[in-house]
Chain A
Amino acid sequence: MKVKELIQKLNLELTSTSTALDAEVQNAYASDILSDVMSHAKDGSVWITLQTHRNIVSVAELKSFAGIILVGDRKPDDETLKKANEENIPIFSTKLSTFEIVGKLYELGIRG
């Protein structure tokens, strides 16, 4: 499923100006521990987290993530947003909790 289809189906709010919304997404990973994400998430995944500081963009870049979903209506810090825009990495915000958004992604056929 393409990133832009996820936005539509999950009613995500795109907070960054990224245009990279055609990437095909098959996997997702939910964790707030950066080392855990580095070690276990598959390349190209969508990452679900509550961390909003700018280091999440570095992690997303290193793992070639298709996007980051911030849960509980969190918004990225200004510095995070600036860096995400530079690197063209989409950051989304959802009002749902981690549990709820992960359930919905799973329903759409996204796997770990």
Chain B
Amino acid sequence: METRLDKTLEILFELKVGDAMKKDVVTVGPDDAMGKLNEEMSIHRISGVPVVEGKKLAGIISISDLIAWLSAGVKDSKVKDWMVKDPQCLYADQPLIHAIKRFDQLRFGRFPVLDRESGELVGIITNGDIILGTLKKLEQDYNEEEVRRYRASHFFEDINADHLDLTLAFIITGKDFDHAGRASTTMKKNLKRLGLQPEIIRRAAIASYEAEMNVVIYTDGGTMKFTITDEKLTIIVKDRGPGIENIELAMQDGYTTAEPWVRELGFGAGMGLPNIKKCSDFMDLQSVVGEGTTLKLEIMIGVNDESKRINPEAKS
């Protein structure tokens, strides 16, 4: 399951250098006097300046170059005599994670940022910009998450009762591959509308799709019932047979009784029941050969912590 650290990593891949960089860049020209550079640096309180000729980057000059010039005691010197030529750059479309790696490798204080197509200087980025950019994105995601949570609680708070559950049922037709997946996809949309957390929706979508496909592939049909309370989502799938002879065997990864034509469609790989188990907090499978199978699943809502999940092994 996704941890918060994964989330940060995700953000660092998602955000581009161009999203976090400073666009307002103080620059100097190669023919500017070193005295002018000195002034620019102290006015803007910056420690490094890109050197730009036309719109192209000619070099970069930092406070250490300025100190070198001062201690050399040469007057009337120009920026181009002291700057670093062909500096290391980043491109605006590179992921932020790439920038972090470059900072780590080269230990520079800043990188000029270029537009990949035109090669022109479009910004500058420091370690501080990366942190600020990441925090802004986290804040934005957090706000969106809060809106989602509000919607969920809103629904359950709007309707008053001592106990509330919402049940939605679907009919599944056996062997009807054309309409297979209808219940699960419709239900995913419903859960989104109810404002459930994305992680819960993801698990419910996988578990219900696998369960629905099992009814389509192996049985003459059945029903799927979703019950949502403020505590958990319960999915009950019932079919009219033929039933499972050996449940233990059916639970094994890769075990299948699907016919070859079904497997050619990409179903019946023997992964369905193990997938369902992986996605649910509680799973109970009851079957009578010749009569039918009942599968009951529970996914806890609001409990997003693996350690707090009920161990399915202990209950099944």
Would you call B202 an interface residue if the criterion is a C-beta within 8 Å of the partner chain's C-beta atoms? yes
B185:A35 contact, CB within 8 angstroms: no
A58:B206 contact, CB within 8 angstroms: no
Q: How far is the CA of A36 from the CA of B266 in the complex (A)?
A: 9
Q: Which B residues lie within 8 Å of A55 (CB)?
A: 177, 180-181, 265-267
Give 22 A-B contacts (CB < 8 Å), ordered by A residue: A26-B14, A33-B266, A34-B213, A34-B265, A35-B272, A35-B275, A38-B206, A38-B210, A38-B275, A39-B206, A39-B278, A51-B265, A51-B266, A54-B177, A54-B178, A58-B181, A58-B182, A58-B209, A62-B181, A62-B188, A63-B205, A79-B178
Would you call B173 an interface residue if the criterion is a C-beta within 8 Å of the partner chain's C-beta atoms? no
Residue on A nearest B207 in the bound complex, by CB = A38
Q: Residues of B with Cβ closer than 8 Å to A? A: 13-14, 177-178, 180-182, 184-185, 188, 202, 205-206, 209-210, 213, 265-267, 269, 271-272, 275, 278
Q: How far is the CA of A63 from the CA of B269 in the complex (A)?
A: 19
**Interchain nearest-CB distance for A23 vs B (Å):** 12
Q: Which A residues lie within 8 Å of B271 (CB)?
A: 33, 35-36, 39
**Interchain nearest-CB distance for A74 vs B (Å):** 13
B184:A62 contact, CB within 8 angstroms: yes
Residue on B nearest A53 in the bound complex, by CB = B265
A39:B188 contact, CB within 8 angstroms: no
Q: How far is the CA of A36 from the CA of B206 in the complex (A)?
A: 11
Contact with B along A18-57 (1 / 0, CB 8 A): 0000001010000011111011000100000101011101
Would you call A61 an interface residue if the criterion is a C-beta within 8 Å of the partner chain's C-beta atoms? yes
Would you call A59 an interface residue if the criterion is a C-beta within 8 Å of the partner chain's C-beta atoms? yes
Q: Which A residues lie within 8 Å of B182 (CB)?
A: 58
A62:B177 contact, CB within 8 angstroms: no
**Interchain nearest-CB distance for B143 vs A (Å):** 20
Q: How far is the CA of A63 from the CA of B13 in the complex (A)?
A: 20
Residue with the highest number of chain A CB atoms closer than 10 Å, among B13, B188, B265, B275: B265
**Interchain nearest-CB distance for B80 vs A (Å):** 36
Q: How far is the CA of A43 from the CA of B202 in the complex (A)?
A: 9
Choose from A38, A39, A53 the contact partner of B177 (Cβ within 8 Å): A53
B178:A39 contact, CB within 8 angstroms: no
A35-B210, A39-B275, A61-B185 known; 16 other A-B pairs, CB under 8 Å? A26-B14, A33-B269, A33-B271, A34-B269, A35-B269, A36-B271, A39-B271, A49-B266, A51-B265, A51-B266, A54-B178, A55-B180, A55-B266, A55-B267, A58-B180, A59-B209
Q: How far is the CA of A33 from the CA of B253 in the complex (A)?
A: 14
**Interchain nearest-CB distance for A79 vs B (Å):** 6
Given A53-B177, A62-B206, are A36 and B269 also a contact pair (CB < 8 Å)?
yes
7 cross-chain pairs, A with B, having the tightest CB-CB distances, nearest first: A58-B181, A35-B271, A62-B205, A33-B269, A34-B266, A61-B185, A51-B266
Q: How far is the CA of A54 from the CA of B266 in the complex (A)?
A: 12
Q: Which B residues lie within 8 Å of A51 (CB)?
A: 265-266
Residue with the highest number of chain A CB atoms closer than 10 Å, among B181, B213, B267, B278: B181
Q: Which A residues lie within 8 Å of B278 (CB)?
A: 39
